[in-house]
Chain A
Amino acid sequence: MAGVGGGNDFQWCFSQVKGAIDEDVAEADIISTVEFNYSGDLLATGDKGGRVVIFQREQESKNRPHSRGEYNVYSTFQSHEPEFDYLKSLEIEEKINKIRWLPQQNAAHFLLSTNDKTIKLWKISERDKRAEGYNLKDEEGRLRGDPFRITSLRVPVLMPMDLMVEASPRRIFANAHTYHINSISVNSDHETYLSADDLRINLWHLEITDRSFNIVDIKPANMEELTEVITAAECHPHQCNVFVYSSSKGTIRLCDMRAAALCDRHTKFFEEPEDPSSRSFFSEIISSISDVKFSHSGRYMMTRDYLSVKVWDLNMENRPVETYQVHEYLRSKLCSLYENDCIFDKFECCWNGSDSAIMTGSYNNFFRMFDRSTRRDVTLEASRESSKPRALLKPRKVCTGGKRKKDEISVDSLDFNKKILHTAWHPKENVIAVAATNNLYIFQDKIN
Chain B
Amino acid sequence: MAGTVTVPGSSVPSTPLLKDELDIVIPTIRNLDFLEMWRPFFQPYHLIIVQDGDPSKVIKVPEGFDYELYNRNDINRILGPKASCISFKDSACRCFGYMVSKKKYVFTIDDDCFVAKDPSGKDINALEQHIKNLLSPSTPFFFNTLYDPYREGADFVRGYPFSLREGAPTAVSHGLWLNIPDYDAPTQMVKPRERNSRYVDAVLTIPKGTLFPMCGMNLAFDRQLIGPAMYFGLMGDGQPIGRYDDMWAGWCVKVICDHLSLGVKTGLPYLWHSKASNPFVNLKKEYKGIFWQEDIIPFFQSATLSKECDTVQKCYISLSEQVREKLGKIDPYFVKLADAMVTWIEAWDELNPSAAAASDVAAENGKAAK
Our verdict on whether A and B bind, yes or no, reads no
